[in-house]
Amino acid sequence: MRVGLIPESAFEQMGLWSGEVPTPVLETFNGLLAVRSLMAVCRLGLLDVLADGPLSSEEVARRAGTAPMPTRRLLDVVASQRYLVREGDAYALTPAARRWLLAGSPDSVRDYLLWRYYEWEWVSRLEDHVRTGSCMLGRPELDEQGWDTYQRAMRGLARLGATEIAARTPFPRGASTMLDIGGAHGFLSVAFCRRHAGLKAVVLELPEAVQASAPLLAEEGMGDRVVHRAGDALADDLGEACWDVVVTSSVVHHFTAEECASLARRVARSLKVGGVFAVIDFSRPDVPGGKGQTSALMDLYFGMTSVSGAWSADQIAAWQRDAGLVPRKPLKLRRGAGSVIQAAVRRA
Ligand SMILES: C[S@@+](CC[C@H](N)C(=O)[O-])C[C@H]1O[C@@H](n2cnc3c(N)ncnc32)[C@H](O)[C@@H]1O
């Protein structure tokens, strides 16, 4: 999937074909403001006030407490992005806005868009990263509100993929115990437990994450079937032959190669015979730039924001193999923008 210039008339189409359109001007000007406009309507709550039906821009501004004229301009931008339609003087949400951007929608990525404000700061330092190779956050240096925003954002994303991951991860028959390393809000464990009636899960997370995400887990009403354990996956004892399933989703890109290899060894020891270790993460393309724009951008993003960048499925499988596990073929997630499930089994 790529972002690009989409002509809105035959004249513009011809311009693009002729090569006479200065594409970098539009890609940067339109791109810059389009991204920030979408972030802003979410942060300012301008879409949520439209949840019950169309309103004029003046009424949107009155309810959201914003200035009428800039509000109208912003709504027009978002209408051009097809999240709003104008009906006379009124603006109405499109089905896409209702599904993806309203706070209360089960598929809402609104919280994830609010995380963009943190990423906006990091992206402003891209040149430093490229000049020096510096990484922007080995561990997120976040205050309380930052942790809250981060955990809500991760939950928004996890809700999109958790059902598929729970359905496609190899699952030992009769499994009853699961460890979810770096499981944050716990939504992946929730999805596994909803699918498998006899399963209980422990979500091992950094203390700051547990504090921020405990209310999110409580919202799921899973009682003692999914519980948090505050700790550090790189240092804590994971136990011996006690888990049927160990999963870790979107976590190993935070760790160095040595840390990943050590984690795989400790996970292997902690698994029961027949148990499964599933690593779910963005898989770095084997051929640089070889898998499209999203993949190239994700590779840049992880390189910029985590200690080691993303890993390839082959590298993850190698750690699993070195730990004495038997890796399966990676499964590409349908909704995962280049993410895979790399599972491995503990044989006798
Ligand atoms: C990108 S989030 C992924 C959250 C969740 N697994 C998901 O898929 O939505 C990475 C999580 O890993 C956690 N994490 C990072 N280092 C950790 C460590 N050493 N021990 C436990 N959790 C860790 C972070 O606190 C964060 O919540």
Q: Are residues 104 and 72 in the same domain?
A: yes
Q: Are residues 203 and 328 in the same domain?
A: yes
Residue 4 placed within a domain: no
**Quick check: CB of 251 below 6 Å from ligand 1?**
yes
Asked which of 108, 141, 169 is the last residue of a domain, the reply is 108
Q: Are residues 65 and 149 in the same domain?
A: no
Count of other CB atoms within 10 angstroms of residue 242: 15
Q: Are residues 163 and 233 in the same domain?
A: yes
Number of folded domains that form the chain = 2
Asked which of 55, 78, 108 is the last residue of a domain, the reply is 108
DSSP designation for 136: S
In whole angstroms, give the CA distance from residue 83 to residue 97: 5
Q: Are residues 81 and 139 in the same domain?
A: no
Residue 117 placed within a domain: no
107: left (phi over 0), alpha (psi -120 to 50) or beta: alpha
Give the chain's radius of gyration (CA, Å): 22
| Ligand 1 center to 347 CA (angstroms) | 27
In whole angstroms, give the CA distance from residue 109 to residue 157: 7
Q: pTM above 0.75?
A: yes
Domain at 333, CATH number: 3.40.50.150
Residue 170 placed within a domain: yes
Q: Reduced to 3 DSSP states, what percent helix, strand and coil does the chain have, rounded to the nearest 5?
A: 50, 15, 35
The percentage of residues in the chain with a pLDDT greater than 90, rounded to a whole number, is 81
| Ligand 1 center to 61 CA (angstroms) | 38
Q: Are residues 29 and 132 in the same domain?
A: no
Instruction: Identify the domain containing residue 66 by its residue range.
Output: 10-108
Q: Are residues 302 and 189 in the same domain?
A: yes
Residue 1 placed within a domain: no
Q: Are residues 179 and 316 in the same domain?
A: yes
Lowest mean per-residue pLDDT among 43-47, 134-138, 210-214, 331-335: 134-138
Query: What pLDDT score was predicted for residue 308?
Result: 76
Q: Are residues 155 and 272 in the same domain?
A: yes
Spell out the residues 6+ positions from residue 243 whose beta carbon is closer than 8 angstroms to its own: 177, 178, 179, 270, 271, 272, 275
Residue 328 placed within a domain: yes
pLDDT digits (tens, 9 = 90+) for 130-188: 999 887 764 457 888 999 999 999 999 999 999 999 999 999 999 999 999 999 999 99
Nearest to 347 by CA among 322, 325, 318, 321: 325
Residue 278 backbone phi and psi in degrees, to 5: -115, 120
Q: Are residues 260 and 169 in the same domain?
A: yes
In whole angstroms, give the CA distance from residue 39 to residue 320: 39
Best residue among 206, 238, 253, 280 to mutate for probing ligand 1, ranked by most atoms within 8 Å of CB? 206
What stretches of 88-125 show up as alpha helix (H) in DSSP?
95-100, 110-123
| Ligand 1 center to 203 CA (angstroms) | 10
Q: Are residues 93 and 134 in the same domain?
A: no
Q: Are residues 283 and 157 in the same domain?
A: yes
Query: What pLDDT score was predicted for residue 296?
Result: 84
Are 226 and 203 in contact, with CB atoms under 8 Å apart?
yes
DSSP designation for 101: T
